[in-house]
Amino acid sequence: MKFYRTALLALAGAALLAAGPVLALDKDVLTIVKSAEIISLDPQDITDTPSEDLNRKIYEGLVDFNMSLDVVPKLAKSWEISEDRLTWTFKLREGVIFHSGAPFNADAVKVNFDRILNGRYKRTSLYQPIIKEVRVVDEYTVAFDLKQPFGPFLNNLAHTAGLILDPSYVKDPAKNARIKRQPSGTGPFKFEEWEPGDYVKMSAFEDYWQGKPKLSGLIYKFAPEASTRAMLVETGEAHVAQAVDTNDVERLKTRDDVEMRIFPNITVYTLVVNTSDAILGDVRVRRGLSHSVDRQGICDKILHGNAVPAYSIISPMINCAAGQNNMIAYDPELSKKLLSEAGWDKIGEDGIRTNAEGKRLSVELWTSSKSAIIPEAYIGFARAVGMEIKLQAMDWVTLNSRIELPEEKNKAQIFMMGWSPSTGDADWVYRPLLASWLVPPTGQNQSFYRNEIVDQGIKDGMRESDNALRKAAYEKIEEQLVADQPRIPIYSIKNLYAVRREVKNLDIYPINFVMVNHLTYVE
């Protein structure tokens, strides 16, 4: 039986919602319910936020983020950089061990980065263009030699792909192949069990270097329906619910046993457009679609004020964020004009445009959202200007597998996607999403967008260490994006978490990670 059926049955009556009865939870085991299932427990081979969040309970990196997304020490105690900015040297913590009992040292760091640099993992592109070599200086000192100066290097090390895997697993071919399902790290929790589609269980790592965790275990449950996640917290079947539905927020605020944590999110939701598509390859069609969308209306009427319109693909909270003065007007008349100029100048009896050959202006929109409200809004906006959008819903795993296909096999036209740069830096928005050399399956430029000005801006931003110069390079990119619209920014929804009040010492970062640590406990 799926874990959330109890909640659904328990909440069958409205009287129960009002009374707010709760089920008994194990006080020593924290239960978190997430909107999407994880894909893998190999941090070097994931691109999705749910997997990144969970991996950070098992593994740790040389550095980490704090609540303000500043980079702070973790497994590295300190570091220094050479005058030519080409060598970074890290002093490592002593006495740290992996869940297997293997020691953490400089060799472990080298083994990890040699793996990702020489492999064909989804995050190889994060480090391969930057790192020339990783050298063991002594047992607890490791040096990174770079190919060129790279401004956000520490941010990149704080990325989930920089988490350190157990070297005894990496060196064993059989264990290395099973890391995605059977991991070992230095983090406060050890992997125990993964029931696909349902939950992942972890237990406390008693030999954790910062001290034995106060919790005995941690459970991540998966519930794609937002209303179910809220119900699970209300009935006591979960302590924390991520991405609460905006319709449930006000009700949850009235409960004495639940705290609604509402704060800005760095994720920007976009319509990703395949620029190699026969219809959408015309920039006038993409711009027409963009001007058809009422962003403010979506935020106010559908998301109940729990989101803000987005006119750039990057959040203002991100280091070196550009494009914050962009404006893409909601202008249906301009949209109609652009579509007519693109050759879709005839209107059929049903209101959908056709071209001179009689072909309909019709495209598919893919989504993994369980709610059709926002996709239906896009359909309505497009129909109002003569464009037909056909909705195709699928689960996240299926969507992810389809959009990562190479260009000649990729059938996506438009899909809904949120992007949260896990480095906290602008480089990890513009480079993976727009660099011409990072189209699938190599990278995540899933719009198959290629532009020399954008490529040059990405390279300039990588090379510079002065943030003012980096931001100037990214502003040039934004100017081109406003003109070309390969990824159409729509909104940034606030983080909406429901947390039971008995949970203590639990932080939730703007990067959408629930930071459970060795001091987290349940009263």
Q: How many Å apart are CA 192 and CA 42, to the nearest integer?
A: 15
Label residue 228 exposed, middle or buried (CB < 10 Å: 0-12, 13-18, 19+): buried
CA distances from 86 to 73, 147, 463 (A): 20, 7, 11
Quick one: 5-35+188-264+495-522 is in which CATH superfamily? Periplasmic binding protein-like II (3.40.190.10)
- Model pLDDT, residue 13: 38
Tell me how far apart the alpha carbons of residues 361 and 277 are, in angstroms, rounded to a whole number.
Answer: 13
Contact 277, 293 (CB under 8 A): no
Sheet holding 388-393, edge to edge: 307-309, 487-493, 268-273, 414-419, 362-367, 388-393
pLDDT averaged per 10 residues, the chain (length 523): 39 39 71 95 94 97 94 98 97 98 98 94 92 98 96 96 98 96 98 96 98 98 93 96 93 96 94 98 98 97 94 94 92 98 97 97 93 94 98 92 95 95 94 95 94 97 93 97 97 95 95 94 95
Chain centre to alpha carbon of residue 18? 35
Query: pLDDT (tens digit, 9 = 90+) per residue, 351-396?
Result: 999 999 999 999 999 999 878 899 999 999 999 999 999 999 999 8
Question: In the chain, helix, strand, coil percent, each to 5?
Answer: 30, 25, 45
CA dihedral 171, 177, 181, 186 (to 10 degrees): 10
pLDDT in tens, 62-85: 999 998 899 999 999 999 999 999
CA distance 5 to 139: 51
Closest CA to 493 of 294, 310, 273: 310
Domain chopping of the chain, boundaries = 5-35+188-264+495-522, 59-170, 268-493
| H or E stretch covering 391 | strand 388-393
pLDDT of residue 24: 54
Taking phi over 0 as left and psi of -120 to 50 as alpha, with beta for the rest, 405 belongs to beta
Query: What is the model's pLDDT at position 397?
Result: 86
* pLDDT at residue number 443: 86
Residue that the structure tokens 């972890």 belong to: 202
Residue 256, Cβ neighbours under 10 Å: how many?
Answer: 7
**Count of beta carbons in the 10 Å neighbourhood of residue 365:** 19
What is the predicted pLDDT for the residue at 20? 47
Integer Cα distance of 182 and 426 in angstroms: 33
DSSP letter for 93, please: P
Can you name the CATH fold of 59-170?
Dipeptide-binding Protein; domain 1 (3.90.76)
Q: Are 65 and 72 within 8 A, CB to CB?
A: yes
pLDDT of res. 7: 41
Kindly report the CATH class assigned to 268-493: alpha beta
